[in-house]
Amino acid sequence: MSTATASKTSTAPAEKPKRPFNWGSLRTYISAVIILIWCLAPFYWMLVTAFRDVGYTFDTTPFFTHITWDNFATVFDESLGNHFGRNLLNSLIVGAVTTVVALLVGVFAAYALARLNFRFKFVVLGFILGASMFPGVALVTPLFQLFTNIGWFGTYQALIIPNISFVLPLTVYTLTSFFREMPWELEEAARIDGCTQGQAFRKVILPLAAPATFTTAILAFIASWNEFLIASQLSNDSTKTVTVAIAYFAGAQPHQEPYTAVMAAGTVVTIPLVILVLVFQRKIVAGLTAGAVK
């Protein structure tokens, strides 16, 4: 998939020489601008509000005015009962551990699914796909009671374990699709040169698989970072993640939504993801669509 996309992207623009003016291409450009505005305008509005003086919260000037860093100070101000720095760290811990566990375990499963012939492969893949579609609420209810009983409520493992239930299937599924497109002739070559299957896997395939694994790690981390339902039910004040913190952000006035501060908090949480996604754009698109089309 990824190679097909990449080659198409690079060759397509050179395909046909265009006439000087083309109404069809004008329509394409107008559509493109509409898509651009639809996708970016709300995000842009979040940035504008995040940097705007709280007194001008509902100002409709469409560019950056009354610029201030105060909202970001409010976000990290602990006097209102928010602990945003702590929440960021919690999300980072939960996301990192979930991603590492899912990758360590999932990489072997993906290799088996991509490379080996075995009975019930279809059933195993169906089970893994089904697991990724599994509704979070069906886990929250029993886990809420279970974790309360064994004293795990509000611990990191209480958040990481349910996260694995949807991050691991995603990891296996994405890696399987990536692995299927790797130059496996090299593995055969290594085996002819006397490597065992295990050695060939370790010495030839793992280094080759690094970029695919890295992309999958980004997707897994984003999925965990964005999780809300499980974190909102199974965390306590000390393990609360950023998504929960933003949803219940406390302002200075009890009944007044601190819009500018919340937009600033949203900006803090979103900017690293957006940068990550834009830098690895092509890889991420390949990973997202991997397996869905063949």
| Binding positions for another protein, 47-66, rule CB under 8 A | 49, 57-58, 60
CB of 18 or CB of 81, closer to another protein:
18
Q: How many residues bind another protein (CB under 8 A)?
A: 112
What's the DSSP call for residue 154?
T
44/37 Cα distance (integer angstroms): 9
Q: Which is nearer to another protein, 13 or 20 (CB)?
A: 13
Q: Is 28 in the site for another protein (CB under 8 A)?
A: yes
Residue 46 lies near another protein (rule: CB under 8 A): yes
Burial of residue 117 (CB within 10 Å: 0-12, 13-18, 19+) is exposed
Residue 253 binds another protein, judged by CB under 8 A: no
Task: Please list the alpha-helical segments (H only) found in 150-184.
Answer: 156-179
For 293, phi then psi, to 5°, come to -130, 145
By CB under 8 A, is residue 228 in contact with another protein?
yes
Q: What DSSP designation does 290 have?
A: B
Judged by CB under 8 A, the stretch of 68-76, 80-88, 205-213, 244-252 that binds another protein is 244-252
Least separation, in Å, of the C-beta of 269 and another protein?
A: 6
Q: Does 273 bind another protein (CB under 8 A)?
A: yes
Structure tokens of 138? 């069906």
The Cα 92–Cα 243 span in angstroms is 12
Give me the least distance between CB of 258 and another protein, in Å please: 10
Contacting another protein within 164-193 (CB under 8 A): 164-165, 168-169, 172-173, 176-177, 180-181, 184
Q: Which amino acid is at 138?
A: A
Q: Which is nearer to another protein, 180 or 191 (CB)?
A: 180
Using rule CB under 8 A, residue 251 touches another protein: no
Residue 167 CB, nearest distance to another protein (Å)? 10
CB of 86 to another protein, least distance (A): 17
Q: Which of residues 207-226 bind another protein (CB under 8 A)?
A: 222, 225-226
Shortest Cβ 130–another protein spacing (Å): 7
Do 180 and 1 contact (CB within 8 A), yes or no? Answer: no
Give residues 88-147 in contact with another protein (rule: CB under 8 A): 101, 105-106, 108-109, 111-113, 116-119, 121-122, 124-131, 133-146
Range in contact with another protein (rule: CB under 8 A) among 76-84, 151-159, 202-210, 268-276: 268-276
If one asks whether residue 291 binds another protein (CB under 8 A), the answer comes out as yes
Q: 58 is written with which tokens?
A: 């509902």
Helix runs in 193-237, H state only: 197-200, 206-225, 229-234
Q: What does DSSP assign to residue 78?
A: G
Q: What is the DSSP string of 90-107?
A: HHHHHHHHHHHHHHHHHH
Candidates 71-79, 81-89, 202-210, 243-251: pick the segment binding another protein (CB under 8 A). Answer: 243-251
Check: CB of residue 82 under 8 Å from CB of residue 93. no
Query: Residue 287 is encoded by which pair of tokens?
Result: 């990973």
Which is nearest to 164 in space by CA: 110, 215, 95? Answer: 95
User: Which residue's structure tokens are 């694994």?
Assistant: 213
* Smallest separation, CB 44 to another protein (Å): 10
